[in-house]
Amino acid sequence: MRYIIYGAGGIGSSIGGHLLRTGHQSILIGRPGHVNAINQSGLTLNTPQDSYNLKIPAVTSPDEVEWSPDDIVMLCVKSQDTEEALRALIAAGPDPTRIPVFCAQNSITNEPEAARYFDQVYGVMVGFTGIYLEDGIVYNPVEGNAGYVEVGLYPSGIDELAKQVVSDLRAASFAVNESSSVMSSKGAKMIGNLGNALSAICDGKGDVNRFMERAREEARQCFTTAGIPFEERSELSARTKAVRGVNRLPENVRNLGSSWQSLVRKQGSIETDFLNGEIVRLGKSVGIETPFNRTLQLLASEMARDGEEPGKYTADEVYAIATSTGP
């Protein structure tokens, strides 16, 4: 099998890099700057154990790939880019009845989108850190293994292909479990990821916990009322901590999450609409007010559009906005 990593950011480049260095065929599809740097000098994959320079094939579009029936798409783009990526995949020509798509992404919105186009869709719960702030260089700062991953069929179940991918990822130094209820794991992970926007907005300033208790309670109420499967974050956390390595960031590298990285890199877009915004959408459909998630959605999206850096507000200021008439 060959892994087509669509979305060569911190997570995608880490997965593709570890697969390649352990003998698995892998291709990255990424942004032009990152791809150009990789093609010129290789991918630098930094871990606490070592720094690898990997001559990994990298392209900027799926139509540059010579597709094979044995290919697997590992979708790692941010959720706001999923629809465009899926359309580009269809246009590039792989058989949507045969090519499997594994959604290694935050949020629970990506698998349903992929299932609109592709017959074989899998969920991947990503429980590790990937940092991409400079073209050609990524950090996978997990000591002991490359991080924790769960893999299963969407919407539920396990098949032989999922088991093979689990085996390949284990060989690539990840701690991996197969899961017949991976969307429940991803539901728990999404509730945790609701804090990504606040980290981007506040850069760690203020009482983050007070705000996030309210935002996550909104999400639990929406999930429960809408009948969306999720496990308690404490259950996922215990399972993750039992096997996941420990984060060891280099002294000169800072990271407060993927949305924080989006603002630092001034990408112009942010994943908030498909994390906090999805809670807002669900709230409207089931009649639950979601002012804390709506405030995060509005502020983070505005900062991304305006090219602002993290830290414009403190968490206490954002709390005051959420409990007033809104921004």
Q: Where are the domains of the chain?
A: 2-180, 186-322
Longest dimension (CA), the chain: 56
Of the candidates 57, 102, 61, 100, which has an alpha carbon nearest to the alpha carbon of residue 84? 61
User: Is 186-322 in the same CATH topology as 2-180?
Assistant: no
For 292, the enclosing helix (H) or strand (E) is: helix 291-305
Band (pLDDT 50/70/90 cuts) for residue 326 is: very low
**pLDDT value at residue 253:** 87
Whether 134 contacts 34, CB under 8 Å: no
Mean pLDDT, rounded, of the chain? 96
Peptide bond into 155 cis (omega under 30): yes
Structure tokens at 259: 């949305």
Q: How confident is the model at residue 325 (pLDDT cuts 50, 70, 90)?
A: low
The SS3 of residue 244 is coil
- Residue pair 311/205 in contact by the 8 Å Cβ criterion: yes
Q: What is the pTM of this model?
A: 0.95
Mean pLDDT of 84-112: 97
Residue 292 has pLDDT above 90, yes or no: yes
Please state the rounded mean pLDDT for residues 200-206.
Answer: 96
SS3 278: helix
Domain 186-322 top-level CATH class? mainly alpha
The CATH fold of domain 2-180: Rossmann fold (3.40.50)
Q: How confident is the model over 212-231, as a mean pLDDT? A: 98
Q: Examine the pLDDT at 76 and tell me if it is beyond 70.
A: yes
What was the pLDDT predicted at 250?
A: 84
* Residues linked to residue 122 through DSSP beta bridges, in sequence order: 102, 153
| pLDDT value of position 327 | 43
| pLDDT cut 70: percent of the chain above it | 99
- Edge to edge, the sheet with strand 131-134 lists 51-54, 43-46, 137-139, 131-134
